[in-house]
Each structure stands twice: as structure tokens, then as C-alpha cells.
Amino acid sequence: ETGVTQSPTHLIKTRGQQVTLRCSSQSGHNTVSWYQQALGQGPQFIFQYYREEENGRGNFPPRFSGLQFPNYSSELNVNALELDDSALYLCASSLFTTSYEQYFGPGTRLTVT
């Protein structure tokens, strides 16, 4: 059984640029949730995807968007990067009917300069 994987591991971008982060869900899981974890903070819920549609969103602006693909993998896109977007981005997969049982990937560390 393959766990949740994320790519890339680290990323450095310049303010104003756009970035795409990728997540492969654990085998058998059909739901993906994304979190932002700033340094010294707990993860903050960005949004969740199920059946290729957004199913719940936290307090994040529209420049944070996502996709889910038929194989349940997912992308997080952030446009017009700001310095405050520097964080660890975590992906978690689950089954929709038990999405309180989330399995996290190792994260992507994004640095915006």
C-alpha cells in the first residue's frame, strides 16, 4: 500500500509568480484535503476535493485553487505569490465517508522571496 506522496519536496519562488504543488493520495482514497502550515503554527485547512470538485474551503483567497484528477491525485495552485505564502503545504487523503481519518503526506516546503 502506497502512502500519500507530495512533490516537489522544496520549492523557491519569487513574489508574484505562480506555483503548482502535487499530491498523490493513498491507494483506495478518494478525497484530498490541503493545509498550509506556517512556521511555528498548526496546519490551516485550505480546501478539500472530492469527485473532482471543491468540497469545503477554509479562509483562503481565490488565488489558492485546486484540481483533483480521475485517479484522485490533486494539485494546489497559488497565483500571485506573496511573502506570507511561505509555508509547508500538506496534503491529506481519506475516504469521503470517513474523511475525519486523514493520512498526511510529508509536505512541500515553499519559500517565497
Partner 1 sequence: AQSVTQPDIHITVSEGASLELRCNYSYGATPYLFWYVQSPGQGLQLLLKYFSGDTLVQGIKGFEAEFKRSQSSFNLRKPSVHWSDAAEYFCAVGPRSYNNNDMRFGAGTRLTVKP
Give the residues lining the site for partner 1 (CB under 8 A). Answer: 4, 33, 35, 40-45, 48, 50, 55-56, 58, 90, 92, 94, 96-107
Q: What is the DSSP string of 78-90?
A: E-S--GGG-EEEE
Nearer CB in complex with partner 1: 19/88: 88
How many other C-beta atoms are found inside a 10 Å radius of the C-beta of residue 57? 14
In the sheet with 64-68, reading across from the earlier edge strand, the strands are 5-7, 19-24, 74-78, 64-68
Strand partners, 4: none
Q: Which of 4, 18, 17, 9 is nearest to 76 (CA)?
A: 18
Distance in Å, CB of 27 to partner 1, minimum: 16
**Closest CB to partner 1 among residues 45, 69:** 45
**Closer Cβ to partner 1, 68 or 102, answer by number:** 102
Q: How far is the CB of 25 from partner 1 (least distance, A)?
A: 13
Smallest distance from the beta carbon of 16 to partner 1, in angstroms?
A: 29
